Structure 1
Amino acid sequence: MKEILAVVRMNKVSATKKALIEAGAAGFTATKVMGRGKLVEDKSIIAERRKTLLALAQKDDQTTDKMITEFLDGTRLFPRRMFNILAHDEAVPKIVSAIIKANKTEYKVGDGKIFVLPALDAVRVRTRESGDAAI
């Protein structure tokens, strides 16, 4: 039995829910979280994203510039969604693949992170079933 934690972009929540259901995840919980990932060190990617974001903002003021700079330099935390999924060991690769497929973008940054952890036990409250039977 494993626990899968997936941190994804907010705009990918619906696609992730659909992917989890199609992959046969028995159930999952989604929580709003704030965070940031590893900083991008490639200056060309940062410059390209900065140019794109400034164009999208359609504003040329200090507040917009500050927000974009904080986004790109990693000082700002951003809203994300974290999915918690308990799965049988044999279902993990299919679920992980489904999450990746639903969340991979062409941005080269910020697509999310997946952690697979051992789960020692689970207990279904209603029936008191434990272990794999509780999933």
Structure 2
Amino acid sequence: MKEIIAVVRMGKVSATKRALVEAGVAGFTASKVLGRGKLVKDPAVIEARKQELLALNKSKDKQEAELLIDTFLNGVRLFPRRLFNVIAHDEDVPRIVQAIMAVNRTDNQVGDGKIFVLPLSDAIRVRTGETGDSAIW
């Protein structure tokens, strides 16, 4: 058994849920989290993303919007994300990981998320007391 932990963009939550269901996942948990990944060092990528975010911003105060965007891009602020936890049989992991990757990959060059796969020693279904593989499906 494995635990798959996926950190995805908030805007990709529905697509990720749909992909997990289509991949045959029996169940999963999703939580709202805050975090950040590696800082982007390429000034061209940062400036392009900043201009894109400014164009999307509907705020009347452009100076405030620019400050908020700068603090997101320079690492001062945390990004809202969604954390998915999936328990799966070992043989199902590649299919599930591929499904998550397929719907979360963007052309932004940054911030598409992370997937972690961890070994799981046991699972117990509370209702029946089943353990191991039978407890997750």
Same-fold call, TM cutoff 0.5: yes
More deviation in 123-132 or 45-54? Answer: 45-54
CA distance in 2, matches of 1:79, 1:95: 23
Normalized against structure 1, the TM-score is what? 0.95
Letter in 2 for 1:33: V
Q: Offset at 1:62?
A: 2.8
* Aligned-residue offset at 1:29: 0.4
5+ residue gaps, structure 2: none
**Unaligned 5+ runs, structure 1:** none
Structure 1 ranges of 4+ moved more than 4 A: none
Q: Residue in 1 aligned with 2:53? A: 53
Alignment partners' CA distance in 2, 1:116 and 1:32 = 19
Question: What aligned pairs does 1:63-102 form with structure 2 within 5 A after superposition?
Answer: 63-102=64-103
Distance 2:32 2:103 in 1: 18
Equivalent pairs: percent with the same residue? Answer: 65
Distance 2:57 2:32 in 1: 25
RMSD: 1.1
How far apart are residue 6 of structure 1 and its match? 0.3
Instruction: For residue 5 of structure 1, give the secondary structure of its aligned residue in structure 2.
Output: strand
Aligned equivalent of 2:34: 34
- 2:38 partner SS: coil
Cα deviation, residue 60, structure 1 = 5.6
Q: More displaced, 51-60 or 92-101?
A: 51-60
The answer to whether the Cα contact below 8 Å between 1:5 and 1:114 also exists between their aligned partners in 2 is yes
1:130 offset after TM fit, Å? 0.3
In structure 2, the partner of 1:127 is 128
2:20 corresponds in structure 1 to: 20
Q: Which stretch shows the higher mean deviation, 46-55 or 79-88?
A: 46-55
Q: Give the TM-score normalised by the residue count of structure 2.
A: 0.94
1:9–1:80 CA contact under 8 A, matched in 2: yes
The 2-side partners of 1:6 and 1:77 are apart by 17
Aligned residues: 135
Q: Which amino acid aligns with 2:20?
A: L
